[in-house]
Amino acid sequence: MQQISVRVLGGPTASFQYGGLHFLTDPTFDGPGEYQNPGRPLLTKTAPSAAQPDELGPIDVVLLSHDEHADNLDRSGRGLLAEVPLTLTTTGGAQRLGGTAKGLATWEQVTLDRPGGGSVTVTGVPAIHGPGKREEVEPFSGQVTGFVLTGEGLPTVYVSGDNASLEAVAEIADRCAPVDTAVLFAGAPRIPVLFGGQPLVLDSAQAAEAARILDARRVVSVHHDSWSHFTEGREEIVAAFEAAGLADRLV
């Protein structure tokens, strides 16, 4: 079974072809600077994207883990959504975005036609954007979703979104493991005023544990650079996977 190729563009944004369809995760293409969504903390972007939308070719589907934070959907990303046939996101996000956005509740599925025949199934999977239970976290950091992609003759792909919960990962593993490719959002982002500065997304050691739980054959790490509130980067992720004996799985 052929593995997919994932192009990491910076922050949470990655591009990949799957089943003949072009997918893009959490689009963020604005330049470095300070960004703030209404009612949300000020965030500082420190590096530009590795590519701009016009360099990527047509996008068929955006997998948007959530729309409420500028480091997951920025102004350029919002502009791109108007040109994309389908954006899959949270149920609340779909209501806010309108247009071609479709919300996926947890374990809800959507079937997409493949260009050469057959189909791809995208399943909304649990994600919690901070430490604690969903009902404790969502009032402060909002609703988030992850995604699992499957199809006949295709590898299973997991896109975590901004998830900090290994319990959620275990739920996903119970239904979907082993995973061929896990696109894990990491970086241990911290905001001092939220949850006592605890990580809002997986830290490096948790990302390695998530890979073990999922029995992931390959891990692509995103969401660990380009923003000042990300407190762990590539070096820490590599060290954590080496310590866990999983270095050979990390791309």
Return the domain boundaries, the chain. 6-34+41-249
- pLDDT > 90: what percent of the chain? 93
pLDDT of residue 131: 95
For 77, what's the count of Cα atoms within 13 Å in the CB-facing half-sphere? Answer: 30
Q: In Å, what is the CA distance from 23 to each residue of 84, 100, 129, 221, 222?
A: 10, 15, 22, 16, 15
pLDDT of residue 40: 82
For the cut 70, the answer to whether the pLDDT of residue 164 exceeds it is yes
pTM: 0.96
pLDDT of residue 2: 65
For residue 210, which of 240, 190, 248 has the smallest C-alpha distance?
240
Altogether, the residues listed in the chain come to a count of 251
pLDDT of residue 1: 55
Mean pLDDT, to the nearest integer, of 231-251? 97
Architecture (CATH level 2) of domain 6-34+41-249:
4-Layer Sandwich (3.60)
Mean pLDDT, to the nearest integer, of 236-243? 98
pLDDT of residue 3: 74
Per DSSP, 91 falls in state: H
pLDDT of residue 64: 98
